[in-house]
Amino acid sequence: MNAFPWGEFARGLAPAAGAAALVMGVTYQIARRKGVHRIVDSAWGAGFAAVALVSWALSTGLGTRGDAARATLAAALTLVWGLRLAVHIGRRGRGRGEDPRYEKMLSGAPRGTSRDQYALRVVYLPQGALVWLVSLPVQAAMYVRGPLGATDGCAVALWALGLAFEAVGDAQMARFKAGPAHRGRMMDRGLWAWTRHPNYFGDFCVWWGLFLFTVTAPGPAGAVLVAPLLMSYLLVFGSGKALLERSMSRREGWDHYASRTSGFLPWPPGVWPKREPPEGS
């Protein structure tokens, strides 16, 4: 009676991909006119919000659907997370030039290929595909049947923990950077004393929380498990922690900070140290 409707879920995959592509396409046109491709970072969160909204609309309009309360809850949580992230990144980058990451990446455009064309190929298309793939648990949650239960409560709790780490960590960093006396110093206060990456840890919790909406019997959790695993890999070993720390490691005070602060999972300040910082750091 509560079997997962694979057919309805499958029919929603293409429209969800179209929503992600539309967000990336519109962002690309805006970025091309402005000559700054850093705004694609805002499209990341907006893309997830668009996919959630389209998936929710489709699930409620099909003859066979999942539990309406779970579908609405999963869509709402994704919208809140995605739009908050999009607005935060948009404000942070307002009035600034190209992000050094994209400047370096796009400088390698092959001869005969424009910078914008290369950006479409190596930035926008891959990010659109990742939005669609990582959002699979949200898409699947729209069709999971059966009433809300304890697992769904855990999903909300983990999502809330993640959002709190992201929002509070971002706010603390913004206040720190706004202080002239902090220029050139390493942020090591608040949540940043518990983990070197509270925002990435927050993302980690958000997406494992959304995945929990699919963990019901017989649910689609096994089929969409690749999504939170991929997000976790990107956050820790890909474009998140690993990439950022390659540049942070060149800053003064990094060795001392890294020696006493957890690299990802939060750990109480003063309890983490595993090695002595180099002399003079």
pLDDT tens-digit series, residues 43-54: 999 999 999 999
Tokens of 21: 């592509």
For the residues 89-98, what does the mean pLDDT come to? Answer: 85
User: CB-side exposure of 233: number of CA atoms within 13 Å?
Assistant: 8
One-letter amino acid for residue 116 of the chain? D
Residue 62 pLDDT level (bands cut at 50, 70, 90): low
For the residues 96-118, what does the mean pLDDT come to? Answer: 85
Residue 153: which of 115, 209, 101 has the closest Cα? Answer: 209
Rounded to an integer, what is the distance from CA 93 to the centroid of its chain?
17
Where are the chain's structural domains?
1-146, 149-281
Residue 21 pLDDT level (bands cut at 50, 70, 90): very high
Contact status, residue 59 vs residue 71, Cβ threshold 8 Å: yes
pLDDT of residue 281: 42
Contact status, residue 76 vs residue 48, Cβ threshold 8 Å: no
Residue 188: which of 239, 248, 274, 100 has the closest Cα? Answer: 248
The three-state secondary structure class of 216 is coil
Judged against a pLDDT cut of 90, whether residue 233 lies above it is answered with yes
pLDDT (tens digit per residue) in 237-275: 988 898 888 888 888 889 888 888 999 999 988 776 555
For the residues 33-39, what does the mean pLDDT come to? Answer: 91
Cα distances from 43 to residues 19, 22, 91, 170, in angstroms, run 12, 10, 13, 18
Judged against a pLDDT cut of 80, whether residue 151 lies above it is answered with yes
Judged against a pLDDT cut of 90, whether residue 154 lies above it is answered with yes
Judged against a pLDDT cut of 80, whether residue 31 lies above it is answered with yes
Q: Which residues contact 147 (CB under 8 A, 6 or more apart)?
A: 67, 69
pLDDT of residue 278: 46
Say if residue 218 is preceded by a cis peptide, omega within 30 of 0: yes
> How far is the first Cα of the chain from the last one, in angstroms, to the nearest whole number?
63
Residue 280 pLDDT level (bands cut at 50, 70, 90): very low
Judged against a pLDDT cut of 60, whether residue 63 lies above it is answered with no
Burial class of 138 by CB neighbour count within 10 A (0 to 12, 13 to 18, 19+): buried
pLDDT of residue 84: 97
